[in-house]
Amino acid sequence: MKVAFFSTKSYDITSFEKHNTGAHDIIFYESTLNTKTAKLTQGCDAVCAFVNDHLHERTIKLLSEYGVKLIAMRCAGFNNVDLKAAKAANIKVVRVPAYSPMAVAEHATALIMTLNRKTHKAYNRVRDGNFSLERLTGFDMYGKTVGVIGTGKIGQYFSKIMLGFGCKIIAYDLYPNEELKALGVTYLSLDELLKSSNIISLHCPLTEDTHHLINEAAFSKMKKGTMLINTSRGGLINTIDAVEALKNQTLEYFGIDVYEQEEKLFFRDLSENIIMDDVISRLISFPNVIITSHQGFLTHEALDKIAEVTLGNLLAYQNEESLENEVVL
């Protein structure tokens, strides 16, 4: 198959060229897929897209006109794909439902531990010859109550890591996991979880129902001094409300690997630019906030799995086989 590959980074080329056996002719483009760049798909059978590509109705209509028959998402999420438009255009959509849940769960843990023990501040101090321990005090993880919103594969693995710390785990999910319940995880209502948690970590998908799940009303139910972690999707949190929660100290710690307006910022080097996003600039100014730019998935193992599954999805379509990872309405 001839595949137009968008939002390409060096690590994408490395992993996909490593696993492509020659069955696919992949054309790598650094640009984002949108209505302006859709013309690059002329003559291609499929597109390979990522989290910030714009697969809205107009883009999909253009893809159909150019002969594209398959959208291969190289990620688990597909909230940026208009599935109704894809169905109307007779374009199949496939994804990578689980590439490395461990990678994202471990990154969430890294955010927690960095915020807690302030290792980022200690690192910078020591490099400047400052060996003081003032204002670096953290807390014991042991015995803390961790609220996990969403207990799919990533949420499950994260819960097990937290259990290893000796934390009490409470969870919210429409479909409770029996394995986690057997391990001692207690499922509660969302309101009860918000009220009871010292640390809250988000691991649910972004849908119409979960958009701005964490908003002013949710923050008002949290304990003073709560830590909030998001390694799922930026739209789960109303970021302006999060800023207010930081200002009134409802949030004592805030760690995010995703951001609601990340498409204009993440995956780019903007070190020589003026950041025009006032909200993220405000967040960066807080000493108790850590932001990473959607790197939770970025491990060698995860990249290999993403390439393997995506190429397998393409091959299955080419061979007219059942699409195990198809996204359907």
Which residues are catalytically annotated? 233, 262, 294
Q: Among residues 176, 197, 194, which one has the least CA distance to residue 185?
A: 176
**288, 254 in Cβ contact below 8 A?**
yes
What whole-number distance in Å separates Cα of residue 118 and Cα of residue 204?
27
Q: Tokens 């790598």: give the residue.
A: 28
From residue 124, give the alpha-carbon distance in Å to each of 111, 224, 300.
Answer: 17, 28, 27
Angle of CA points 128, 252, 296, to nearest 5°: 70
**What is the H or E stretch that residue 290 is in?**
strand 289-291
* Local structure of 146: helix, strand or coil: strand
Q: Among residues 120, 203, 216, which one has the least CA distance to residue 162?
A: 203
**248, 271 in Cβ contact below 8 A?**
no
